[in-house]
Structures are given as structure tokens and as C-alpha cells.
Amino acid sequence: MTEFGKTLTVTTTPIPGLIVLDLPVHGDARGWFKENWQRQKMTAAGIDLPDFGPVQNNVSFNDAVGTTRGIHAEPWDKYVSVATGRIFGAWVDLREGDTFGAVYTTEIDPSQAIFVPRGVGNSYQTLEPDTAYTYLVNDHWSPTATYTFLNLADDTAAIDWPIPLDTVEISEKDKNHPRLADVIPMPPKKTLVTGANGQLGRALRAEFGDHPGIEYTTRDTLDLTSPDLPTARQWRDYATIINAAAYTKVDTAETPEGRTDAWAANVTAVAALARIATDNGITLVHISSDYVFDGTKQSAYTPTDPLSPLGVYGQTKAAGDAIVSTVPRHYILRTSWVIGDGNNFVRTMATLAERGINPKVVNDQTGRLTFTTDIAVAVRTLLDSRAPHGVYNITSTGHPQTWYDIARDVYQLTGHDPDRITGVSTDDYFANTTSPTAPRPRNSVLDITSAHLEDVPGDGRRRLEAYLTS
């Protein structure tokens, strides 16, 4: 008998992410009515399924009592309910991890539903004739997807079926599923890192390491501007995309060809990733820049300051930020003056010092260095801590400096006379340049007082010294 008048509530289970919902069912002499899936009310009730994103609704009609199906684990989430009749449901965690093999059972009638996370084995046995079992899923069936199965009679799971399995209707395929000891656990969703050969990409490789769940791509292995990108991967298999790919030639971006390339990499490709992330419930991590600001603010820029880019590069980065901010699950890490494994300002200054060259360096642009190792740690910290989605600033700590100050530090730390460097204004530095040059923000100082990243960045001077001696 279906219970009427329940309050919309949720009950957790021993299987992480598997939750049982009591649904309000309204009935009278004519029959009954329920809102089987109501996103707005569920979110308001604190049921954390706003990004479930179902794409298909399936109904399995069962004539006889005792019809038994399962145990099937698919690489997508399910929202299971009953339209008519009643079932005994059994779920087994078949995911990699400490809860592998955990079992939960309960009876479900039209006044209950259960959310089944990806990789949790699902099975049921009908307790009434003419039972209509219905479920929403957030991905379409694919012959290339990874499926995991468990035998209904497995001794380890030891499910106490209300009707003995040797007396009920079961398919031959379900009878022959493996025992728990032979089940290959379903791996967690993967992380995709783009731009894996760049300065940041190499730091991300060092931070996250070689792991079956981490995929590193370059322009040669995944073209982010290709119209085929939406079908280039089985995107529902990914939990996170870390976008370390970008066009960073700020001066070349001011040329016709550079402008086209900058917009393609920093906007068109980002828009494609944002669409994929939104459609597939993926967390998108995006690296931004101080160039999204014009540098006229008299104090440090906060994550909430309005964008005001000067040149083409800054405009493309600002556009990318605006696009990524629309993704339900996103982190934008805003950086300045990035230094990592590769060609950069610090390496150039160290080389000039060694070669006996006395350079002119601009002394009217102020900011802080950001080391790629700190960016990589910040990315991991935000993901592991499940920090609130949004914009975060990440640079080294310490007193802001000009490029001239940093050049002097490089010379001194490498055993050379810092007085060999001459400070000049930005205008004077580019006065005799005939090729296009991008406008630079004079103030690139970012406010890094974030509760979620406060322990990540180190002092800029100490980071610089360690970098030069590594």
C-alpha cells in the first residue's frame, strides 16, 4: 500500500552517495499523483542532486512476482523509482575504494526513490505483479563504456532475497555474472590535463604523477579547437578537466595572425571545454592572468574586481574567464608573472648574468612571481578540499616587486653584481621597438588572502632562490 502525505526527505546509506528519498504522494478516490523528480524542490530540501542532469528515462515492466534483475553497475548515475507495484532492491558498491563490496537493501514502492551513483551495482526483485520499475540516467548507453557486474547469488555479498533465487525468473546472463572475488572494480572518473607540455603542464605532471586516472594531452593528441572535440572522448568518464593550455605570446597577439591564434586558444577552445564540462557534470579548472585587469587600481586586485583588459591577450583571457564562470562546477585560478620549467624571465636574467650582459629592465610594473609548482599544488588543494567553486588568486607571497627588483635578485642570487642592471620605464623600454607590443598593466598585484589556499604559496624570494638552485 503506497503511503500518502510524506515529507520530501533523504536517508543516507552505508554506500557513499547512495541515498533513499521519501517522496510526497497525493491520493484520493481517483488514484494518486507524485512529482517523481523535482529538481528545484529537491535542491531546496538540501538533497544534493542539482547537477544530476538526466538524459534518458527507462521503464522496465515486470509481469510476475519474483522477477529478478542485476547486479549491474554502469558508468553513470541512476535515479530509480517505482511507478506501480513494489520491489526489493539490493545495491552493492563495485567501485574502487574502501567500501568495495558494501551492500544495502530496502523495499521501494511509489513513495520512495533511490539515487544510485556511478559504479554502484543495482538489482531488484519484484514483490507484486505488474510492477513498473523506472529509472532516469545521465548518460546514454554505449557499447564502448565500462560495465561491472556481480552475481546475484554471491556468497560474500550474501543478499537475503525475499524470494529464493532458484524459484524466480532470472536471465541466463544474470546467472553467469562473476563472484565478488573476480569482479574488476570500476575505477573512478578520470582527470584530463590539457597543455601538458607547457610550463604549468609539466608542474601538473609532477604534482599528480603518472596514474591510470590522469590523462595528459597536448595539441598533438587533443585539438581543443576541433569541431570534433565533443565526441573526441567519452566525456562522462571524466570528473575534472584542468585546462593548462593557452596562448601566452602577449606581443604577438597584437598582430593579425596572433590575434586569431589567441582568440582560438583562449576563447574558442575554452568555450568548447566549458560546454563539455556543463553537459557532462565535469569540474573545469581554468588558469587566468593578471592581464584581465588594466593595472590602474591603487591596491591589490581581488577575485571579485571587475575585468578591464588592455590588449588582445588580456581581452582573450577575460573572455575565457567569463565563459568558464558559467560552468556549474568551475575553478578559475588567477596568476601573475608565471615561472616554471621552460623559457621565462628568471631564466633569461640568469643567462644574461652568466654571459656578462648588463640589461635594462622595466621598473614601473609591480607584481609578484607565481611559480608553477604553487599553481599545481593550488589546483590539487581546491579539488581535494572540494572548495566552493569560483575565482581564486594564487601568487607567491612577500612584498610586491618590479621586474627590475626581481632581476636584481636573480643577479645577486647567482653571484653577480645587481648594480649591473639599469631600471627604465615601460615606455622607454619599448621606445625603439618597431614590432607590435602589448600594453602592460602597471599594477599586477593580486590579493591572495584566501582561506582555501592560504598555506599553498611560499615567499617569493625563497621560492626564487630554490628555483635558481634546482
- List the chain pLDDT tens, one digit each, 470 residues: 567 777 888 999 999 999 999 999 988 888 889 888 888 888 887 777 767 888 899 999 999 999 999 999 999 999 999 999 999 999 999 999 999 999 999 999 999 999 999 999 999 999 999 999 999 998 888 887 888 999 999 999 999 999 999 999 899 999 999 999 999 999 999 999 999 999 999 999 999 999 889 999 999 999 999 999 999 998 988 999 999 999 999 999 999 999 999 999 999 999 999 999 998 889 999 999 999 999 999 999 999 999 999 999 999 999 999 999 999 999 999 999 999 998 899 999 999 999 999 999 999 999 999 999 999 999 999 999 999 999 999 999 999 999 999 999 999 999 999 999 999 999 999 998 888 999 999 999 999 988 789 888 889 999 999 999 88
Q: Whole-angstrom Cα distance, residue 380 to residue 456?
A: 10
Backbone angles phi, psi at 405, to 5 degrees: -60, -45
Task: Answer whether residue 367 is part of any domain.
Answer: yes
CATH code of residue 75? 2.60.120.10
The pLDDT of residue 44: 81
Task: Answer whether residue 4 is part of any domain.
Answer: no
Residues 145 and 259 in one domain: no
The pLDDT of residue 407: 97
Residues 50 and 80 in one domain: yes
Residues 175 and 196 in one domain: no
Residue ending a domain, choose from 158, 182, 206 = 182
Residues 125 and 221 in one domain: no
CB under 8 Å to 356, separation ≥6 — which residues? Answer: none
The pLDDT of residue 364: 96
The pLDDT of residue 1: 58
Task: Answer whether residue 169 is part of any domain.
Answer: yes
Element (H, E) at 289: strand 283-289
Q: Whole-angstrom Cα distance, residue 300 to residue 445?
A: 5
Which residue of the set 72, 177, 330, 416 is catalytic?
72
Which residue of the set 124, 135, 301, 331 is catalytic?
135
Residues 322 and 454 in one domain: yes
Residues 198 and 224 in one domain: yes
Distances (CA, A) of 162 to 69, 81, 105: 14, 19, 11
Residues 463 and 340 in one domain: yes
Task: Answer whether residue 3 is part of any domain.
Answer: no
Residue ending a domain, choose from 165, 182, 199 = 182
Residue ending a domain, choose from 147, 182, 217 = 182
Distances (CA, A) of 320 to 228, 247, 264, 387: 20, 12, 11, 21
pTM over 0.95: no
The pLDDT of residue 60: 95
Q: Which domain holds residue 29?
A: 9-182
Catalytic annotation present for 135: yes
The pLDDT of residue 49: 73
Catalytic annotation present for 72: yes
Number of structural domains (the chain) is 2
Q: Contact at 8 Å (CB) between 279 and 271? A: no
CATH code of residue 282? 3.40.50.720
The pLDDT of residue 349: 97
The pLDDT of residue 131: 96
Residues 194 and 66 in one domain: no
Residues 252 and 388 in one domain: yes
Task: Answer whether residue 1 is part of any domain.
Answer: no
CB under 8 Å to 255, separation ≥6 — which residues? Answer: 436
Q: Whole-angstrom Cα distance, residue 178 to residue 200?
A: 44
Residues 123 and 200 in one domain: no
